[in-house]
Structure 1
Amino acid sequence: MRSFWAIFKQAFWTKARTKSFIITTLIAVAGFFLMANLQNIISSVQETGVLGGDGEQILYITESEAGLAPLLKEQLMLMDVDFEVQETDRAEADLQADIKDGVIEAYVVLEAGNGISATYVSQSAGLSGMASAVEGAVQNLQTTRTVEELELNAEEAAALFAPAGFEREAISDASRTEQELSEARGLVYILIFLIYFAVIYYSNMIAMEVATEKSSRVMEILISSVSPVKHMFAKIAGIGTLGILQMLIFGAAAYTAIETSSSDLSGGFFSVFGFSNVRISTILFAVLFFLLGYFLYAMLAALLGSIVSRIEDVQQLMLPMMLLIIVASLIAFTGISVPEATFVTVSSYIPFFTPLVMFLRVGMLDIPLWEPLLAVALMLASITVLGWFGARVYRGGVLMYGSSQSLKDIRRAIQLGNKR
């Protein structure tokens, strides 16, 4: 048992001290704080005019028909915009020169015909808060003018533009309300990405670690004092513990970012990808499927890494495993919009797809408890079978040297392991 813990600690600390691990962790933590404060950052940038250009926040209004400019200015003032609005009769060439020189932000040209149209001119054609405000004000001006031309009274105008009531209701017992789906969608997106990232990152780490030890001939020394099977499981457990630690850091950072953010995470971006009122069961299933997904793919990665003698061959043999993860992620991200689809339900019971797809169903639907438990049982059975099979391959694979670029080498590894 002492040799197991020695390899366990070596696998853990060797990777924990690498620059790539530290930098990846810091970038992810910074990303959580950035996302939690995204609305405040955008508001601050818009207030300072960084998104709009280098000029002052001044909008000039010129017109082809007298009387339109004062009306548009009045509409903008009613909207309480954070930029200055001025009417002008200067030539467009002069206004464009001021924009290029950074003197003003933009100008708008109003024209009247069958309706009111406007041309907004600025340094860039990208979206900005000023452009959106002008567009809304022009639309309001057009609506007001149409109402006057049709000689509608206030009640008739209100009735004409009153929004229609529209609600979505599902009769399926597994479906949730639109509000519940919105509350769960953001967390499901993030956790699916984290599970996807973890499975690829840590599984690839195991395969590379094994291949590195073989290419440097360190493996020959290790297996002379510890059995290959014990070596394999110690590697998986050590790097798995490192993965759990990193996920805990991510979780603590995300929680701290949300708690310290002045935003309530409900408006703008968060109105579609909500994070409020998330169920505890969703978090627990995320942890469970992360662990199961890791051990399933880690067994496969260790198996593949053991039959490779050169680090250059790792990615080629890892390709089938990567394709499984990519397909699972495509199904999961597609299923977020249609979690009740048949292809989502069926694929959620396929062990290599379960960590992502069944978690999606748990997060987005009210499914019976037996369904995720059945998926967990299937994964445990798959991990057991793959662990047994992987141990047989690993026992002989670590002794194989030479070019290994085909999955056919698995059979040769098993035969070699049986001779030991």
Structure 2
Amino acid sequence: MRDFWTIFKQSFLTKAKTKSFVITTLIVVAGIFLMANIATIITKIQDAGVFGGGPEKDTIYVVEENGQLLDPLQQQLNASESGITLKATTKTVDELEQQITDEKIASFLVLELDETETIQATYTSENANAFEQPMKVREALQTVQTNIKANSLELSADEVVQLFSPIQFEQDAVSASSKSEEELSQARGLVYVLIFVIYFAVFYYSNMIATEVATEKSSRVMEIIISSVSPVKHMFAKIAGVGTLGLLQIALFGVAGFIALKTSSSDLTTGVFSFFGFSNVSISTMIFAVLFFLLGYFLYATLAALLGSLVSRTEDVQQLLLPMTFLIIIASFIAFSGLGNPEASYVQIASYFPFFTPLVMFLRVGMLDLPIWEPILGIGILLVSIFILGWFGSRVYRGGVLMYGASQSLKDIKKAMDLGRK
């Protein structure tokens, strides 16, 4: 057992001390804080005029003959907290277009009320890609138009409110496993993020294990190690060491993300977070997230160690890991597509395939009210698959670490097993 812990610590500390690991960790943590505060940073940069001021993006110049629409439109924009300021101008359309070209102004609006008391509006900016600001202006103009028509029809304010009162619409589902839209919103964010985390972990750390084994073989260090430690013990110590390092790194990212969100100007209940629903996540979903993350890692890490033992050059690692990479990519595609329809039959079937289970079954657990036996069955399938792959992988690993020369294909597995029996 002492040999196991020696290799475990060596695998953990060697990778933890590498410059690439430290730099990558720092860059990701910095990126998390940057993304959490990006809106505040952009606002401060714009306020400071770092880029030379430029045209005021939130100021729209208005061309109108009688000026009767300007004030009501500004009131509606203020009521919707759009942040848009209107300024009347006497310049011609050609002069304003030239000012946009010269980057003196960002946009202008031409307003006119025809004989039928219908608003005619033209919004002009540098390009047609802008959509947020004109959409706000359009919505505000629509409200102004409604008020004008209501006045012409001599409708009271209460009658206008009744005319545009929203209907009561609810969505129910017959399926017993379906959740309400509110519950789906609460689960969607965590499921989306953790699917990405599981995908990243099994892909990145599995490749790290395979590369580590291939590096030891290419440097002939492997021959010294297996002379005193059994290949099987060496394999599982490698998996455990790199896995622990991965868990600590991901935990660090999680803590950094939590601190970044708490210290930023945003919270977990507004903006994009209101759609993703991070504010209310069940404990059971978190528990299943950890379980499927760990089981998914050990499944793919065992496969990666098996494949890494077949190559003696690090250049051959990616080629031999290609089938495993395809499995991870297919699983992620199924999981992300299932976010929109988690009850699809192909999602349900895929959730019981061992190499897809960590991502797809977790998707179903997070998005649906499944009977407890389904995730338990998925966990059981993963445990059995890890045991079988570990048993098979140890036999391949025992002979694979002694094989040298260019790796041809997966056919080398049989050669490694034959060598391991000797």
The answer for the alignment partner of 2:21 in structure 1 is 21
Give the letter aligned to residue 216 of structure 2: E
Equivalent residue runs for 1:29-178 within 5 Å: 29-37=29-37, 40=40, 54-56=54-56, 57-63=58-64, 67-79=68-80, 81-112=82-113, 115-127=118-130, 130-150=133-153, 152-178=155-181
Displacement of 1:22: 2.0
Kindly indicate whether the alpha-carbon contact (under 8 Å) linking 2:60 and 2:86 is maintained by their aligned counterparts in 1. Answer: yes
Give the letter aligned to residue 21 of structure 2: F
2:354 counterpart of 1:351:
yes
Kindly indicate whether the alpha-carbon contact (under 8 Å) linking 2:328 and 2:356 is maintained by their aligned counterparts in 1. Answer: yes
For the residues of structure 2 that align with 1:279 and 1:206, how far apart are their CA atoms? Answer: 33
Displacement of 1:379: 0.7
Gap change, CA 1:46 and 1:62, over 3 Å in 2: same
**Is 264-273 or 294-303 further displaced after alignment?**
264-273
Q: SS where residue 282 of structure 1 aligns?
A: helix
Kindly indicate whether the alpha-carbon contact (under 8 Å) linking 1:316 and 1:405 is maintained by their aligned counterparts in 2. Answer: no
What CA RMSD, in Å, does the superposition of the two structures yield over aligned residues?
A: 2.7
Equivalent residue runs for 1:11-410 within 5 Å: 11-37=11-37, 40=40, 54-56=54-56, 57-63=58-64, 67-79=68-80, 81-112=82-113, 115-127=118-130, 130-150=133-153, 152-410=155-413
For the residues of structure 2 that align with 1:389 and 1:162, how far apart are their CA atoms? Answer: 66
Gap change, CA 1:49 and 1:175, over 3 Å in 2: farther
1:174-202 per-residue CA deviation (whole Å, 9 max, x = no partner) reads 22221111111111111110000000000
Gap change, CA 1:274 and 1:313, over 3 Å in 2: same
Displacement of 1:118: 2.4
For the residues of structure 1 that align with 2:271 and 2:131, how far apart are their CA atoms? Answer: 15
Kindly indicate whether the alpha-carbon contact (under 8 Å) linking 2:109 and 2:122 is maintained by their aligned counterparts in 1. Answer: yes
Kindly indicate whether the alpha-carbon contact (under 8 Å) linking 1:46 and 1:129 is maintained by their aligned counterparts in 2. Answer: no
Displacement of 1:365: 1.6
Give the letter aligned to residue 22 of structure 1: V
Displacement of 1:154: 3.6
Give the letter aligned to residue 234 of structure 1: A
Displacement of 1:80: 5.3
Identity %: 61
Q: Using structure 1 for the length normalisation, give the TM-score.
A: 0.90
Q: SS where residue 175 of structure 1 aligns?
A: coil
For the residues of structure 2 that align with 1:393 and 1:358, how far apart are their CA atoms? Answer: 29
Give the letter aligned to residue 59 of structure 1: I
For the residues of structure 2 that align with 1:128 and 1:38, how far apart are their CA atoms? Answer: 21
1:61-99 per-residue CA deviation (whole Å, 9 max, x = no partner) reads 013776444543454355455454221221123223333
Q: SS where residue 173 of structure 2 aligns?
A: coil
For the residues of structure 1 that align with 2:340 and 2:355, how far apart are their CA atoms? Answer: 21
**Is 168-177 or 80-89 further displaced after alignment?**
80-89
Please list every run of 5 or more consecutive structure 2 residues that lacks an aligned counterpart in the other structure.
Answer: none
For the residues of structure 1 that align with 2:291 and 2:78, how far apart are their CA atoms? Answer: 54
Kindly indicate whether the alpha-carbon contact (under 8 Å) linking 1:307 and 1:397 is maintained by their aligned counterparts in 2. Answer: yes
For the residues of structure 2 that align with 1:116 and 1:337, how far apart are their CA atoms? Answer: 40
Kindly indicate whether the alpha-carbon contact (under 8 Å) linking 2:77 and 2:84 is maintained by their aligned counterparts in 1. Answer: no
Please list every run of 5 or more consecutive structure 1 residues that lacks an aligned counterpart in the other structure.
Answer: none
For the residues of structure 1 that align with 2:361 and 2:97, how far apart are their CA atoms? Answer: 57
Give the letter aligned to residue 330 of structure 2: V
Kindly indicate whether the alpha-carbon contact (under 8 Å) linking 2:78 and 2:84 is maintained by their aligned counterparts in 1. Answer: no
1:202-259 per-residue CA deviation (whole Å, 9 max, x = no partner) reads 0000111111122222222222222211211111111011011112212222332343
Kindly indicate whether the alpha-carbon contact (under 8 Å) linking 1:207 and 1:301 is maintained by their aligned counterparts in 2. Answer: yes
Kindly indicate whether the alpha-carbon contact (under 8 Å) linking 1:313 and 1:405 is maintained by their aligned counterparts in 2. Answer: no
Give the letter aligned to residue 13 of structure 2: W
Displacement of 1:141: 2.4
1:318-371 per-residue CA deviation (whole Å, 9 max, x = no partner) reads 111111111111111111121222222221111111111111111112212222
For the residues of structure 2 that align with 1:62 and 1:170, how far apart are their CA atoms? Answer: 51
Displacement of 1:299: 0.7
The answer for the alignment partner of 1:7 in structure 2 is 7
For the residues of structure 1 that align with 2:370 and 2:338, how far apart are their CA atoms? Answer: 15
Kindly indicate whether the alpha-carbon contact (under 8 Å) linking 1:186 and 1:275 is maintained by their aligned counterparts in 2. Answer: yes
**Is 32-41 or 107-116 further displaced after alignment?**
32-41
